[in-house]
Chain A
Amino acid sequence: MRSILRASALCWAVLLLGCKEPPRGPRYRGDGNAHARAGGTLVVHHEADVRGLDPATSYDEVSQIAIKLLFDGLLDYDYELNLIPRIASALPTISEDGKTFTFHLKRGVRFSNGRELVAEDVRWSMEHMLAPSTSSPGVGFFSLLVGLSEFAEGHSPHVSGIRVLDRYTIEFELTAADQTFLNAMAMPFTYPVPRENYAAHPTDVARNPVGAGAYTLEEWEPGVRLIFKRNPRYFEASTPRADRVLYEVNLQRESAFLRFRNGDLDHAHRFTPADRLFLRRSTQWAPYRVEGSGGDIWGLAMNCEMAPFNNVHVRRAVAFAMDRERWSRARNYALRPIGQALPPEIPGYSTTLSSVQSFNRARAREELALAGYPNGIEAPVTMWISEGATGTLYAELAQADLRAIGIKLEIKQVSFSIYLQQTARAHTAQMSLAGWNQDFPSAATFLDILFHSRNARPADAENRAFYRNASVDALLDRARTERDSVLRRNLYEQANEIVTRDAPWAFLFTSIRIEAYQPYVRNYRIHGLWSEFYRDVWLDLPRQRVAMRAAQNPWRNLAALMPFGGL
């Protein structure tokens, strides 16, 4: 017995004294080079894994981070989300009727295998992506291309709307003037790929990427790390950047942040609440911390075809009942409350809509009374959420807010795939916790997809609220073809306002991205569209160790273990 006590005392001592806290501020600083220089290895991470590196099929966030290093497309966005030419020499010329887009390519752009990238490659890559055998998730974005259905049905070997005019010129023709086509052309689905690589790797091209991007894949240890090497043949090869990017995957949040604080990782993102707070409060990290908008929208989707949400007053009551400030507080201010269908950086966001969907319990009760439920709704409402602790947290917040106005909320938690399938079926889910991330910075990726009646299909509906409003449809259809950006913004603003008033969703918040990088990491900025965009980073090396006081206080650790210690 005594020996057991002694052993456990020793264990505690080791635990308390041996837990060396990482330094409070950065451990290394840069060398102080004023001008960008090439060289070094950028070490970054992600908590998930890269699924594949084929731009035509790999449409998940983590894969896209890597794809942005390996490939480039005709068009891209700058950090302010303006469309800019990349492999194209300029933005395309658009015909008078707005249906034909002509791109001129830069000369001398090469794939990393050395071959020159020409207009024919752009065409082949597009047709490869659009071919039914590729089953790319991107086909929907190009549905207006002339000749697409003949091509998809096998009646034609080519898409007649894609025409190579000469070695460096390509033209796209649409069946209707659609301004979002330019956004679609900046998506990774269109990134040119060399056809010989697909011939060499008929089944595993996603593991053997060859593109025209700033980096090439040097090594891939599945589930562990990917190593990218600077592409000497890149058309902007003279711009200095890191020699290598070491991308560690499947790294847990907590341990990733500890490694970052110890100087073993160069960039940190996606934090636990505790780490996020540490970073927000830290003055030493403040110069190396960046915050940006998540470009997403979250809310409670209410099925407009199912009782009680077929009554607009009930939906408005729910929208008024949500104490969005409290939600933000419960998430340690990692989200920004919002009461409309678009996040602030998207053209069409309205500054005058703030009171239409805001927290107002008295108004919520009035709306419920107007709907004929002065004493609340007796039958419980079921809300579908997918797996994960955050979903449960939001569900409990919604439960409390609805309880306050007399609506009982039951939670149905299912796996993500079941959630997607069932909430997309008509007359199935009364309510669901829904979020939507932009595909590109246009109101169309929110309003068209989520609220256009064409997407309220009986199954596989993206309009999960099954909301139908002919005037919203008309506004959205007009906005898509409107070439004047001011008028377009105006149309989207009107549609946004109608949707917000009709409340198919109780709009709740948009997320805030918070990231930090090491002092020697230079030219890293949060990109409004691409997550963790590393292409333009250079390293201020050799890094210098920062002298630090040895602040080892074992009592701090002990205090933290006490039930009432800390906060």
Chain B
Amino acid sequence: MDPRAWRRFRKNKGAIVGALLVLFVTLTAFLGPLAAPKDPDLQYSEGLDATTGLPVAANAQFRMGADQLGRDELSRLLHGGRVSMQVAFGATALAVFVGLAIGVATGFFGGVFDTATMRLVDVLLSMPFLLIVIVINQVFDSPSLAVLYVLLGLLSWTTLARVTRAKTMQVRELEFVQAARALGMSRSRIVVRHVLPNVIQPAIILGSTLVAQIIIVESAMSFLGLGVRPPTSSWGTMLHDGVGFISNAPRLVLLPGALIVAAVFGFNLLGEGLRDALDPKS
């Protein structure tokens, strides 16, 4: 990376906060299950208050209290991040790959292929996302996690493709690309050596904000009951299940909610920081 970019990034407090949040959330998600004190799916009868049936508050046995079925909230939080993060990273990786490939190809080659692909993008952009998810959920009657992120990835590459395409069209006309062409370099070599390095930066930036968006979508889907299957925990489902207890045990909403906010906020700040650092002109 350009050392000047790194300096700009370090100076940007928002970006550093974002990076720390991302680090925190990612570590929680991937190492959390190892640190979980209890089985997240085991329902303890002492986790529910004997007279009211409400989940017990934090105590020595349940360090962040229990959830509505008497399961250990802390363990569920530590396990739940993995689903959200797996989906977010998996879907984003797929979206960035597809978006970059299509964006560069359409931008570089242009013509009928470009027009046709961009109309497809228009169609995809015009479809309400959650509606598609609901339909898919009815078609595959219990979609696995993999289906979920492939679907999310395949639906969210469009913006990225458009931005990459515009940038490619711009780069394609620059002198060094023309020089390479004049020197007889093959098209694929031009794309890999000269075009890609120049369009990868907006892709990284968009990718990091896309992670944030997908985390929200995953939790929205879990909230609508379309996400992971019980008893597997995810932050979104935990938020959903806690809503009924918002006045008696607000932590059931606030804790997973705070983690989702941290993740989304972190990735957004990081994305903006990366944009300011890598692409100061825009």
Contacts and interface: CB of A to CB of B under 8 A. Distances in A.
Contacts of A328: 53
A411 B230 contact: yes
A90 interface: no
B57 interface: yes
A326 interface: yes
B52 A326 contact: no
Nearest to B241: A389
A274 B246 contact: yes
22 contacts: A272-B244, A274-B247, A277-B54, A326-B43, A326-B45, A330-B68, A330-B69, A330-B70, A389-B225, A393-B241, A399-B41, A411-B229, A411-B230, A415-B138, A563-B254, A563-B258, A564-B65, A566-B57, A566-B248, A567-B52, A567-B57, A567-B248
A567 B252 CA distance: 11
B31 interface: no
Interface string B236-257: 0000110011111111001100
B197 interface: no
B230 to A, nearest CB: 5
B101 interface: no
Given A392-B230, A395-B230, A396-B69, A329 B249 contact: no
A508 to B, nearest CB: 15
Interface string A315-336: 0000000010010111111000
Interface of B: 41-43, 45, 48-50, 52-58, 64-65, 68-70, 138, 141-142, 225, 229-231, 240-241, 244-251, 254-255, 258
Interface in A288-344: 323, 326, 328-333
A412 interface: yes
Given A323-B45, A562-B250, 11 more contacts: A273-B245, A277-B248, A329-B45, A392-B230, A396-B69, A396-B230, A396-B231, A400-B43, A412-B142, A413-B225, A415-B138
Contacts of B49: 329, 567
Contacts of A415: 138
B230 A563 contact: no
Contact of A333 (B43, B53, B56, B241): B53
Going nearest first, the 3 A-B pairs with the smallest beta carbon separation are A332-B53, A329-B53, A400-B43
A389 B244 contact: yes
Query: What range describes how many residues of A lie at the interface?
Result: 35 or more
A560 interface: yes
A333 B250 CA distance: 20
A387 interface: yes
Contacts of A403: 41
A4 to B, nearest CB: 13
A330 B57 contact: no
Contact of B69 (A397, A411, A565): A397
Contacts of A387: 225
B251 A563 contact: yes
Which of B53, B55, B225 has its CB near the most chain A CB atoms (within 10 A)? B53
A561 interface: yes
Contact of B245 (A274, A392, A411): A274
Contact of B247 (A395, A397, A566): A566
A399 B39 CA distance: 14
Main secondary structure of the interface of B (DSSP, over half): loop
Contacts of B55: 567
A17 interface: no
A165 interface: no
A362 interface: no
Interface of A: 272-274, 277, 281, 323, 326, 328-333, 387, 389, 392-393, 395-397, 399-400, 403, 410-415, 560-567
A69 B249 CA distance: 40
B55 to A, nearest CB: 8
Contacts of A562: 250
A563 B253 CA distance: 9
B39 to A, nearest CB: 10
Contacts of A395: 230
B134 to A, nearest CB: 10
Contacts of B57: 564, 566-567
A400 B42 contact: yes
A562 B250 CA distance: 7
Contact of B53 (A272, A331, A400, A410): A331
A330 B53 contact: yes
A329 B48 contact: yes
Given A564-B251, A567-B54, A393 B141 contact: no
Nearest to A281: B52
A423 to B, nearest CB: 14
A389 B231 CA distance: 13
A561 B142 CA distance: 36
A528 B93 CA distance: 59
Contacts of B250: 560-563, 565-566
Nearest to A564: B58
A507 B8 CA distance: 66
Contacts of B248: 273-274, 277, 566-567
Nearest to A388: B225
A366 to B, nearest CB: 22
A400 B69 contact: yes
Contact of B54 (A326, A332, A392, A565): A332
B222 to A, nearest CB: 11
B52 A277 contact: yes
A331 B41 CA distance: 18
A329 B50 contact: yes
B225 A566 contact: no
A567 B249 CA distance: 5
Contacts of B258: 563
Contact of B230 (A272, A331, A333, A399): A399
B234 to A, nearest CB: 13
Nearest to B54: A567
A566 B249 contact: yes
Given A273-B244, A274-B244, A414-B141, A397 B251 contact: no
B45 A563 contact: no
Contacts of B246: 274
Contacts of A333: 52-53
Contacts of A281: 52
A397 B48 CA distance: 13
Most buried by B among A329, A396, A413: A329
Nearest to B255: A563
Contacts of B244: 272-274, 389
A203 B230 CA distance: 45
A565 B250 CA distance: 8
B67 to A, nearest CB: 10
Contacts of A400: 41-43, 69, 231
Nearest to A328: B53
Contacts of B229: 410-411, 413
B155 to A, nearest CB: 23
Nearest to A403: B41
Contacts of A396: 43, 69, 230-231
Contacts of B240: 389
A392 B67 CA distance: 14
